[in-house]
């Protein structure tokens, strides 16, 4: 009943505000992890509830990042008005805020549990220990929710997951799952995290092989195919463009053939747009152009493919 209630807008707000509820759910899940019971049905239910309660958290619940977001916008506006803002990107980037991130509560209560480092560690521990697809999907989904916004919470949560808690290898393993829903959640999480330049170097080394493999071999016979491909294209685009020298080794003919095919896939418009943006950026980089031309010769010989789409 609590799981169903947590998936509705009003129920989600009510449960967040109910004294002791989040504390109990989180503590129970942590105790089960500590007792080596990661695959209990009760753990799955708890993590699914926490996943639902973390949805739109940054927008719906005032938190320690809310005021900092306002401060960051002021910094951004000042830089824009004085001409110090980098107009090339045309948008406010989290890593250019210049606003210090807050310290977290030593003893979290209520909604503050949902974005606390102890919660992050619980999700990552379950990714290591659990063999249940529903639990793995919920863990990745909760982290995906925490990194989904365009504000400071996304930046801080991404750094906490990827740098402080060293969670990237565990997330990358989700991309090898036989469950398309687990793969979808893992790919979406990595796409969110790849928006932050501070993580690019670490992510390029730790997740590029698995993400490029998705684009090379993922079949289109699942309901999640479009979402998976969209996330993979955006992640690859962000990481390769930040480090073309490292990224060019992952530009195989097979992967590029699949990306071109994706551009022409009318049944997945969002994935097609992400694929077109990826190819456009790859061709815009001089260091990558020679690699693409070499791969194109192989692709033209084997499949008549033009990587320029």
Find tokens 């990224």 and name the residue.
Answer: 247
Q: Provide the token pair at 283.
A: 């061709």
Q: Which of 294, 218, 301 is nearest to 258 (CA)?
A: 218
pLDDT digits (tens, 9 = 90+) for 201-210: 999 999 999 9
pLDDT digits (tens, 9 = 90+) for 51-96: 999 999 988 887 777 666 656 655 544 554 444 444 444 444 444 4
In this prediction, the residues of the chain whose per-residue pLDDT falls under 50 are 76-77, 80-99, 300-305
The predicted model scores a pTM of: 0.88
CA distance 116 to 108: 7
78: left (phi over 0), alpha (psi -120 to 50) or beta: alpha
What single DSSP character describes residue 102? P
* In contact, 63 and 111? CB cutoff 8 Å: yes
Find tokens 């995290």 and name the residue.
Answer: 193
Residue 180: the pLDDT is 94
Q: Which of 264, 177, 252 is nearest to 222 (CA)?
A: 177
Q: Which of 209, 90, 178, 189 is nearest to 138 (CA)?
A: 189
């Amino acid at each position: 009943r609590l799981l169903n209630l947590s998936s509705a807008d009003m129920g989600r707000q009510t449960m967040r505000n109910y004294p002791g509820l989040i504390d109990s759910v989180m503590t129970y899940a942590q105790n089960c992890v500590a007792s080596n019971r990661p695959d209990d049905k009760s753990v799955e239910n708890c993590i699914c509830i926490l996943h639902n309660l973390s949805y739109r958290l940054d927008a719906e619940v005032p938190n320690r990042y809310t005021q900092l977001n306002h401060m960051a916008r002021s910094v951004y506006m000042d830089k824009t008005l004085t001409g110090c803002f980098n107009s090339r990107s045309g948008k406010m980037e989290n890593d250019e805020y210049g606003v210090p991130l807050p310290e977290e509560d030593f003893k979290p209560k209520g909604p503050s549990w949902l974005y606390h480092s102890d919660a992050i560690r619980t999700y990552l521990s379950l990714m290591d220990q659990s063999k249940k697809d529903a639990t793995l999907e919920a863990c990745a989904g909760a982290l995906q929710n925490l990194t989904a916004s365009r504000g400071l919470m996304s930046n801080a949560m991404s750094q906490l997951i990827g740098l402080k808690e060293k969670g990237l290898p565990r997330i990358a393993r989700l991309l090898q799952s036989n469950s398309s829903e687990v793969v979808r959640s893992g790919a979406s999480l990595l796409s969110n995290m790849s928006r932050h330049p501070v993580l690019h170097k670490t992510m390029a080394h730790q997740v590029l092989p698995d993400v490029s493999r998705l684009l090379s071999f993922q079949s289109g016979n699942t309901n999640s195919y479009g979402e998976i491909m969209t996330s993979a294209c955006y992640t690859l685009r962000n990481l390769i463009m930040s480090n073309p020298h490292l990224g060019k080794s992952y530009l195989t003919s097979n992967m590029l053939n699949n990306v071109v095919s994706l551009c022409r896939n009318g049944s997945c418009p969002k994935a097609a747009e992400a694929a077109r943006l990826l190819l456009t950026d790859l061709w815009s980089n001089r260091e990558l152009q020679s690699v693409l031309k070499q791969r194109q010769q192989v692709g033209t010989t084997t499949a008549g493919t033009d990587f320029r789409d």
